[in-house]
């Protein structure tokens, strides 16, 4: 299914747990292929892509969201994994409720906006239910 986003960005939807993830988007005239919200070419991730994914998922791109997304990107570049919520909380001084509320209650959305795969297993379900 093809959907034209209000900012004239082409979206092809496919499911990812509790996060809406297009197969591709067009930003600044460039088509970016995505797999589970993660750019196939990791170098194509940008804050503009994060803002678009936030908009698609009904998440307001606040200063808190930006700060968390940038933190997760840096963490991922160093460790190649999305950090556990407890690490984000400690390093950023944000409590779990505030952290999850900023991302619509979804740990998966934190990783998706940062352009990284969430940890495998049920971690995202456990974190989202706390």
73-122, pLDDT tens digit by residue?
Answer: 999 999 988 898 899 999 999 999 999 999 999 888 999 999 998 776 54
Domain count, the chain: 1
Can you tell me whether residue 21 is helix, strand or coil? strand
- Chain-wide mean pLDDT for the chain? 82
- Placement of tokens 């239910």 in the chain: 129
Q: Which H or E element spans position 28? A: none
Checking if the pLDDT of 11 tops 60, the result is no
Band (64; pLDDT cuts 50, 70, 90): very high
pTM to 2 decimal places = 0.79
């Amino acid at each position: 299914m093809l959907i034209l986003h209000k900012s004239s960005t082409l979206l092809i939807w496919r499911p990812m747990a509790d996060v809406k993830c297009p197969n591709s988007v067009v930003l600044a005239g460039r088509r970016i292929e995505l797999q589970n919200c993660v750019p196939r070419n990791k170098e194509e991730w940008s804050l503009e892509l994060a803002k678009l994914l936030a908009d698609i998922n009904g998440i307001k791109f606040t200063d808190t969201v930006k700060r968390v997304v940038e933190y997760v990107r840096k963490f991922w570049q160093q460790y190649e994994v999305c950090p556990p919520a407890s690490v984000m909380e400690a390093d950023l001084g944000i409590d779990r409720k505030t952290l999850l509320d900023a991302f619509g209650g979804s740990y998966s959305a934190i990783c998706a906006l940062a352009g990284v795969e969430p940890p495998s297993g049920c971690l995202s379900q456990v974190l989202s239910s706390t």
